Amino acid sequence: MSEMPESLMKSIFRGEIPEQLVFPYPRIDPDEADMVRIIQENLLRWGAEHHDAARADAEGKYPDSTFKALAELGFFGWNIPEEYGGLELSMTGFARIYSTVSELDGSLPVILGAHASIGLKGLLLYGTREQKRKYLPDLASGKTIAAFALTEPGAGSDAASIQTRAEKQSDGTWLLNGQKMWITNGGYAGFFTVFANTAVEINGETKDKITAFIIEADREGFSRGPEEHKLGIKASSTTPIYFDNVVLPPENLLGEVGKGFKVAMHVLNSGRLGLAAGVVGGSKALLKVAIEHVKQRRQFGRPVVEFELIKEKISRVAVNTYVAESMVYLTTALVDRDDVDYSLESAICKVFASERGWQSINDTMQMMGGLGYMQEYPFGRIMRDARINQIFEGTNEILRLYIALAGLQEPGEYLKQLGHALRGPIKGFGFLADYAFTRVKGAVTRPHLARAHPALRKYTAYLTRSVEKLHLSVNSAIMKFGHRVVDRQLMLQRYADCAIDIYGMLAVISRVTGRLEEVGPKEAQIEHDMARIFCEGAWNRVRRNLRQIRRHEDRPVRRLADHVAQQGWYNFPL
């Protein structure tokens, strides 16, 4: 194993556990922690005194005073360097504050995330010194709001299908035409990171490649469409934007010509992680409201909180939130290292947090009983707001495929080379899959996790066995299906779910190990209980998913779906 692997989770797919990226569980810098705490306190104080989430949802917008207050609190410049007027927070500090914002309502973090997590992130990562000097001061102060424009009517997750086009002119300028849809902050942003197809010469042949550009809203030919009417996050702005012969000077190019896809993916990694942090904050706020209610509500002569079915829900929400939080801050530490590929981990955090957060909304709403359905409580609004989390920043279905395929890439390359060494293409192993699986299994050394606390030995064993089983199953699948593995989406989903559970176990074991070492088993009993609850469930899910790689009902599922789709509706006689 290399001393510093480029990706924690890609190492997991190789059957290795890079402990140096997991232990000790990361802690925020003490000086930054003090700053973050002050910002959080100021935010919550302002929220309690001035923020009316229900009114903003009903009116479909925030008052100007909200933007002014956020600017004064420095919220538009969290991740912008101090030399340009920002706070220059680490990703860990950023995520902590973003989580607190999400305790107030669902639209506010969407606006701030679209601005800081993705809208101006490309400028931070790929902008020139001159571009940063020109734009960042106004972006940090809130004078200018940023937005990210990738999605089009015919191009969502399939970014390669975008039709917006930038043609280079003889004088070095670019002529931009096209449209984007569902652009958060589209109604008032003044700075847009926009992606367009451009002609690039590769080996003497002209091909279309995506390129990133900076576009100011005051450019001639730029226009905005009407506000979209959304199910939730109603106080945020979502509009289409249009480009009609917009002339862009050469200095508005962001990064290199033809390298825009890389810019977009790097930016979205940040956005997914911010989203996951926001879900953590929202879940905490909901649990607090629900617990206050079940403590006061009495039925059959005692508080509802004493009933086991309510305790189960409280426990489930707490565990889901704890695991998501553990995963998020293990990942933000990888980002802050600046020497590790965190793309898989970011996608995993987004999928886990958005789905478990949705479950937590359902559980807390159920704990409220009929009151949870009433508009005077925030559950209905938050449920509408939260549903988007499984869709934007990459749908969870697409992210699952990405997690699995990116994880399979390195084992696939190794086995491809092995196949060539044995004078045969990898697909030639198909009929020998079971034999190959046995041979590979015998050659693999079981992954080791030495730095976990001894009190977590049982869950550490679950983790290492899960890593081993995943690695062996992946190798077998690649040898059996070869390049056809790309089309086995139900199988890839199971691998992704295994990876998600494994990363959850890693994060929780690391975090609880830190607590056990810090305060001892007695004081850390509750954290130990959460590790037990999650790891037991995760181990069972991993085993079930890997069993279903070989024994599944995928064929009848496909046949049924094809039948219903062909009929066009549910058509089964009684």
Pick the closest to residue 505 from 474, 475, 473, 541 (CA basis).
541
Straight-line distance from the first to the last Cα atom of the chain, in angstroms, rounded to the nearest whole number: 60
- Band (pLDDT 50/70/90 cuts) for residue 154 is confident
Secondary structure element (H or E) that encloses residue 426, with its range:
none
Pick the closest to residue 91 from 152, 26, 148 (CA basis).
26
Any catalytic annotation for residue 228? Answer: no
pLDDT surpasses 90 at 285: yes
Cβ-based neighbour number of residue 230 at 10 Å: 16
Measured CA to CA, the distance from residue 344 to residue 499 in angstroms comes to: 9
> What confidence tens digit (pLDDT) does each residue in 54-77 have?
999 999 999 999 999 999 988 999
- Band (pLDDT 50/70/90 cuts) for residue 203 is confident
Q: What's 119's DSSP letter? A: I
Q: What's 380's DSSP letter? A: H
Range in 10-24, 284-298, 401-415 the model is least confident about: 401-415
Measured CA to CA, the distance from residue 68 to residue 63 in angstroms comes to: 9
From its phi and psi, is residue 210 left (phi > 0), alpha (psi between -120 and 50) or beta? beta
Residue 287 CB partners (closer than 8 Å, separation 6+): 314, 317, 318, 321, 360, 364
Average pLDDT score over residue span 493-521: 97
> What confidence tens digit (pLDDT) does each residue in 515-560 have?
999 999 999 999 999 999 999 999 999 999 999 998 999 999 999 9
**Cα→Cα distances 481→423, 427, 433, 474, 557, Å:** 18, 6, 9, 11, 20
Cβ-based neighbour number of residue 456 at 10 Å: 23
Buried b (16+ CB within 10 A) or exposed e, 190-216: bbbbbbbbbebeeeeeeeebbbbbbbb
The pairs formed by 199-205 with CB atoms below 8 angstroms and a separation of 24 or more are: 199/167, 199/168, 200/257, 200/258
Q: What are phi and psi of 425, to 5 degrees?
A: -65, 155
Cβ-based neighbour number of residue 70 at 10 Å: 20
Instruction: Give yes or no for a contact between 489 and 561, defined as CB atoms under 8 angstroms apart.
Output: no
Residue predicted with more confidence, 453 or 440: 453
Indicate the average pLDDT of the chain.
Answer: 91
**Cα→Cα distances 70→41, 47, 78, 93, 116, Å:** 13, 10, 11, 17, 13
Q: Which domains does the chain have, with CATH numbers?
A: 30-141 (1.10.540.10), 146-259 (2.40.110.10), 263-380 (1.20.140.10), 397-564 (1.20.140.10)
Which residues make beta-bridge pairs with 299? 302
- Band (pLDDT 50/70/90 cuts) for residue 417 is low
Task: Tell me how many helices (H) and strands (E) the chain has.
Answer: 18, 10
Average pLDDT score over residue span 252-274: 95
Q: What's 62's DSSP letter? A: -
Average pLDDT score over residue span 240-246: 98
Catalytic option among 393, 397, 468, 536: 393
Cis peptide before 24 (omega within 30 of 0): yes
In this prediction, residue 160 carries a pLDDT of 75
Token pair for residue 408?
């399979």
Rounded to the nearest 10°, the torsion over CA 233, 40, 123, 214 is: 40
Residue predicted with more confidence, 28 or 6: 28
> What confidence tens digit (pLDDT) does each residue in 328-376 have?
999 999 999 988 999 999 999 999 999 999 999 999 999 999 999 998 8
Q: What's 117's DSSP letter? A: I
Instruction: Give yes or no for a contact between 484 and 433, defined as CB atoms under 8 angstroms apart.
Output: no
